Amino acid sequence: MLKTDTQIDQTHIWHPYESVLHPYKHPLVKSAKGVYLELEEGKMVIDGMSSWWSVIHGYNHPRLNEALRNQMEKMSHVMFGGLTHESAIELTKKLLTLLDDSFEYVFFADSGSVSVEVALKMALQYQVERGKKEKSKFLSFERGYHGDTFGAMSVCDPVTGMHSLFSDVLHKNFFAPAPKSEFTSNDATKDLEAVEAILQEHANEIAAIIIEPVVQGAGGMRFYSPVFLQGLRELANRYDTLLIFDEIATGFGRTGRMFAYEHAGVVPDIITLGKAITGGYMTLGATVTNQKVAQMIEQNGNVLMHGPTFMANPLACSVANASLELLMQNPPFAKIEKIQNQLKTELAKCEALPNVKEVRTLGAIGVVELTHRVDMKTATQSFLENGVWVRPFMNLIYIMPPFIIEEEELRALTDAIYKTAKLLQKSLK
């Protein structure tokens, strides 16, 4: 007997972070437009996740669709080894225009996680070429998350993160406590003292410091003071290490600035980009660095040893160009400020619920942290019944909606979060 699509999905497809042997039924998405997902039975739900933080302009955007069609008629892909193309050149120009002037060199990867791998390799090769092979480890942070590939996993939180199963085979690095200074604080002294203590003892082993600026994402949706980044920049200089900012989740406006490092007014040596770079249309990442790093890597006639097959894919670069044009022509920051203010006001009522530990907002990010782990089955059903798509994790209910979301649509999301958090409280009894 032929299996239905639902049966194929449940019996043969392995979804992320889920059991393949004991699956549950997933809502089937037929189409998407604006902030709405159309499900199989015709139900329309508002997407509060921007498809894992990437669809900043909404779904089925005419400008982005047009960019893909135009590029497809020229070529969908061409190898980047030994060749180049206009879409990659134009995207490089746009990225260097948006980023700090100290950035000069762009390496295109095929995902955010791979862009982190490239950043780590840049830092290691930089240290080898300057005669410091012993600087072969990284200083990362508890509650940090940088991706699911092996190098990226090695700089994720080794205890509370998702990758403790692989701890015995991962490259061993150093981990400082997660920064605790609040976003509005002008004092990160204690946080920085903990970092410096590690550097004082192990700086001769550390190639680079890597951190998600201002927002620790999958490690707990935690916000911390930009002052901490200023101190990290000083420590990196003082202890002769590179500084890497992972802006895969925070880049392109999500925190209320084009890049999160702008909150601190400091610039890293290497930055990683992904997710929203293409408006959520295609997978693409970029690792961008400065003259100091590039010159050192190549000073002995060597080159950076990395080359993905789909590096600088023309389709991905073309839609990224269209996405960045939208950001540059119509800066979204006034809209993001409105989203933040509405999230702050409307999520505040969740604080009265006994099972809510904290509510926090920054830019187009809203987080309700519970005192207990979310019952995913109950939460998912509740959100769908309330006409929204929200995907909690651990003890967090959070949203990162598309920037185009309207006030009424955002209110539907915040109302659904309150109702679901309240329902989850009842289920604890």
Question: Mind telling me the catalytic residues?
Answer: 17, 145, 246, 275
Q: Cα–Cα distances in Å, from 88 out to 91, 249, 290, 315?
A: 5, 22, 18, 10
Unique residue bearing structure tokens 């540059």 = 328
In 3-state terms, what secondary structure has residue 311? coil
- Residue 287, classed as helix, strand or coil, is strand
* Cα Rg of the chain (Å, integer): 22
Residue 55's SS3 state is: coil
Nearest to 178 by CA among 195, 196, 200: 195
How many helical (H) and strand (E) elements, i.e. helices and strands, does the chain have? Answer: 13, 16
Q: Which two tokens stand for residue 70?
A: 């135009």
User: What share of residues in the chain are helix, strand, coil (percent, to 5)?
Assistant: 40, 15, 40
Which residue type is seen at 356? V
Whole-angstrom distance, CA of residue 158 vs CA of residue 173? 9
- Measure Cα distances from 193 to 22, 36, 179 in Å: 46, 46, 11
In angstroms, the CA 70 to CA 91 distance is 16
Q: What is the DSSP letter of 4?
A: P
Decide if 416 contacts 387 (C-beta within 8 A): yes
